[in-house]
Amino acid sequence: MWKHLAAAALLVVAADAKTLSPADAWKASLKEDNAAWASAKHAILKINDAAYVHEGETYSLIGEPSKSATWHWKKGKDAKAALTASFSGGKPVLSKDSKPLPAEALGKGIDIAPGVDVTGAVTQMSPGQSGLRIMVFDQENKAAKAFKGVDYFAYDPSYRVTASFKPDPKMTPHVFRTSRGLDKQFFHTGDAVFTLQSKTITLPLYADDKDPAKVTSMTSFFTDQLTGKGAYQAGRYVDVEPFKKFPPASVTIDFNYAYNPNCARSSFYNCPFAVDFIPLAMKAGEKDPHAH
């Protein structure tokens, strides 16, 4: 649900299930991850700056056309802005060179200068309140060029588990603190119960919609005995493999796909801190990119 390329990774697994082993499908997904971090047009490490725009706020994009690394967001209206972005009535309001743009333009990308463009989307700013997240991308960003690739533990089939699923009929809301000092609310869909390394584990799962009919994916935000000791200090996330209908009687979780929040490498995201503890050293999934 939260991985920058979670959907693509799951599609790889689903599409190749008949031809690839779980380990080979996992290897293929890592190639997709590397593209999402550094080589895709809107790769995470190509972000030059981001702004989180609350209702009633306006941000201006300032920079020098010949210097792609100079583009940044400035709060408020600026006469020199190449683009202004506001959030009003729950919708983005855009203006480029003093001319209005349709909000849909953000999904396609708005060209600003050679090698520089902007994308954005409505996002949760706090429980019950939406805002606008806008990002400016620099195709020459040094962080993307310096990227060496994701670093995962070797694939271990024992970390691919089938769990019974105990749904939460109340879909209890849970508020997570985030890396930007904001709050995000998700809904407890239920618990996955499984045995791993001879221990019975109960792992809460969450979705971003309270309507059971709209729940098509679930995620765990977890810490473990390696957190801060080889695994990312703010915890990791893992998504449940696709299921036909909610609530499923059982779910499959492959911890080899456990991934760091985008904030592990980029300060431009708003990532929930993990809170649910697995009392094991989970030697599967992504490692701490700062550990070495």
Q: Which burial class, exposed, middle or buried, applies to 278 when counting CB atoms under 10 A from its CB (0-12, 13-18, 19+)?
A: buried
Angle at 62 between CA 58 and CA 66, to 5 degrees: 155
pLDDT at 7: 36
pLDDT at 98: 85
50 and 35 in a common domain: no
68 and 130 in a common domain: yes
Q: Can you give the residue range of the structural domain that contains 106?
A: 44-138
256 and 156 in a common domain: yes
> Does residue 115 lie within any of the structural domains?
yes
24 and 157 in a common domain: yes
157 and 216 in a common domain: yes
pLDDT at 14: 44
Buried b (16+ CB within 10 A) or exposed e, 66-87: eebeebebbeeeeeebbbbbbb
179 and 248 in a common domain: yes
Instruction: With beta carbons less than 8 A apart as the criterion, state whether 28 and 20 touch.
Output: yes
98 and 211 in a common domain: no
pLDDT at 58: 98
238 and 159 in a common domain: yes
| pLDDT beneath 50: ranges in the chain | 5-17
Count the neighbouring beta carbons within 10 Å of the beta carbon of residue 187.
20
Domain count, the chain: 2
161 and 32 in a common domain: yes
pLDDT at 137: 98
Whether the bond into 242 is cis, omega within 30 of 0: no
73 and 96 in a common domain: yes
